Amino acid sequence: MKIEMNTIQSFVKDNKWFISLFTVLIILRLFIFSVYKVEGASMMNTFEHNDIVIGSQITKVDRFDIVVFKVPEKKKNYIKRVIGLPGDTIEYIDSILYVNGEKVDEPYLTDQVTQDLKVDSIPEGYLYCLGDNRKNSVDSRKIGLIPEENLLSEIKIILFPFEKITTF
């Protein structure tokens, strides 16, 4: 038993930096950051299928942030862009976004095809979220407003593939 204890103590002493780093990474993962794999084409060209992204769990969400939220009925998480905040009126006319009556540019879109729609005053505690690939996205147009309590993270970094590393 004494030999085993000496071996453990020796290992800990020789690898303090590694153990410390590992502990810090575990704490960061549990309380601050989450890693997600993008599935599907709903956020193209911002994200591609199988991209790996990192989200921050402690953040205030603003319009046009990219967020991860859970949809309990579907038993899965979604990655979408916040278009509307509580109190906003959202309108698309001829593929042009209007927020509270003001025209808003969407430079992240490559395809400007969006059906005309109008969302009157988003209630407190809810968000209106859309995929960047509007032709191929299950988003607030289909699943409704997103309760803020269902938010999991705000995407901060594309981590993989390495040639696409980007911060938001």
Q: Mean pLDDT, consecutive 10-residue segments, the chain of 168 residues?
A: 65 72 69 86 91 85 94 88 96 91 90 78 96 90 94 90 82
The pLDDT value given to residue 70: 93
The pLDDT value given to residue 81: 97
The pLDDT value given to residue 117: 82
The pLDDT value given to residue 20: 72
CATH 2.10.109.10 for the 33-160 domain, yes or no: yes
| Alpha-carbon span 100 to 29, nearest angstrom | 37
Contacts of 144 (CB under 8 A, 6+ apart): none
Active-site residue numbers? 42, 80
Contacts of 135 (CB under 8 A, 6+ apart): 111, 113
